[in-house]
Structure 1
């Protein structure tokens, strides 16, 4: 089995764990009694760590190389932090646009955590996703698809990141952010290039939930969707020069790395039975439940 097929099979296992882990854990009586915030945290740890542990036992690969656990350097660190803030207006615009057609699952999750402490919410919504999802996607998946070539590996990993959110509202902005996260990791050779902005994006949303004026804003009479879409669109447009400047400086200090070239001239393919199964899972669990919102 070549490396891409191996990664595709891992992808299918990973998605299955993502879908069933919460339901299986909830069957345990003690899990039904703990606060939802900690139940959610445990589910995240289980659905990421169990498949990853099995992956390394199966492949016997070096975790440091797969995860790219290498330092960033102070210049990259500053640029990555700035990027984490600069990309948010674009993501906010995409998120609001899709929420006009489908329910905002992330907001529903945040509402379910109402009354939870700031630290608990930060752990569940920012710290755990930033580490676990990045180690899985920009670690195992991106490394596993390297024989497809750099750009195909970036696209396929970002696609799976979007599909993993299992709903049409989050897919566009997750795929969009996933492309950037993969690119940052490929250029720097460090997983911290995606963990840090992922954490900043999620943590910013958590902090906004706990600001003193957050409740007042929630109770305000909101403008129409058209006006809000215009506001978020203008914000996204204004952010483009700043995002472009950050990426320009980033490219200057991170030259192109050598792409993988098959020694025997053979090409590995992304599309296979496990990936079609992943598409099927997304159709069943991520699309069909939301069709009513379109009609």
Structure 2
């Protein structure tokens, strides 16, 4: 039995509200502890409690199915190639935003030593990947599944990108969310999404650390920067090669998997209407407010 879309919508809205209220406060007080609280208390626990109260089959809903060992390395390579494309989308977005003014530098500072790097890999990589995948590619994607397997992937990716409440990386996360949904759908295992998600976050964390240590991009004390067109071209070249590799990897991955395909009986108009249900609609309003506020801040 699949979770009800309306129930999941209410839970999604609640998580978003927690993100912008208590989540903001605990992360401001202590970044690492705050993120742990946000991911575990505000994301993971509500999902588990909801499934237990409703007496759903937790293993089925969350796709807690074993993943074949032959997929692990392939998924890591898919994540690396995806990172090259999503990175370009982030740079491209920030380039256009920089036309309004200087864009904010990433809020999460790079690790200052190896021990802190390990902490970041555990918190930003492992914990975030596990909790967010259980919520989004587990509960949320399963609830939309009767609309069709691919539709559930796309709808979940949109909601995943919105949940980050950041205009600077919306397209990047939307792309990543689509890849995450696809690998989970093809394998019917949440662990596929966790591997790709962790690898993606780990790449960013490790690169940030080594760039900071090398002094190649010293932005210490700098809150906002401009994005030159040369950066767009540089990342564009990376994205082209990454995209070609990703295409080949996904073809190989698709050939190796035989998922249960759900066609779905809803039309596009009916699928769009799901976003008009009050929890999703209010979530969209919150997201648009945050995006507008961020763009105004950039323009100042």
Tell me the TM-score normalized by structure 1: 0.85
Task: Determine which of 88, 113, 119 is the counterpart of 1:93.
Answer: 88
What residue in structure 1 maps to residue 6 of structure 2?
5
* Matching of residues 1-295 of structure 1 within 5 Å: 3-23=4-24, 25=26, 32=29, 35-100=30-95, 101=97, 103=103, 107-110=106-109, 117-211=116-210, 214-219=213-218, 225-259=228-262, 261=264, 270-271=274-275, 272-294=277-299
CA deviations 1:84-117 (Å, max 9, x no partner) are: 1111111111111122216356x22235x65771
In structure 2, C-alpha distance between the alignment counterparts of 1:226 and 1:110, rounded to whole Å: 24
Moved more, 235-244 or 279-288: 279-288
Distance, in Å, in 2 between the alignment partners of 1:23 and 1:67 is: 27
Q: Distance in 2 between matches of 1:212 and 1:166?
A: 26
User: What number of residue pairs does the alignment pair up?
Assistant: 281
Superposed CA deviations along residues 243-264 of structure 1, whole A, max 9, x for unmatched, are 11111111111134230656xx
In 1: Cα distance, 2:260 partner to 2:254 partner: 11
Tell me which moved more, 57-66 or 229-238.
Answer: 57-66
Q: Is this contact kept in 1: 2:13–2:280, CA < 8 A?
A: yes
1:128 shift after superposition: 1.4
- Alpha-carbon deviation of 1:46? 1.7
Structure 2: 5+ residue stretches without partners: 220-224
1:151-205 Cα shifts (integer Å, max 9, x gaps) = 2211110001100110111111101111111111111100111110111111111
Distance 1:277 1:206 in 2: 32
Alpha-carbon contact 1:17-1:51 (below 8 Å) kept? no
2:222 maps to none
Distance 1:289 1:232, change over 3 A: closer
Report deviation, 1:10. Answer: 1.9
- Checking the alignment, whether the CA contact within 8 Å between 1:4 and 1:145 is kept in structure 2 is yes
| TM-score normalized by the length of structure 2 | 0.84
Residue 261 and residue 209 in structure 1: after superposition, are their counterparts in 2 closer, same or farther (change >3 A)?
closer
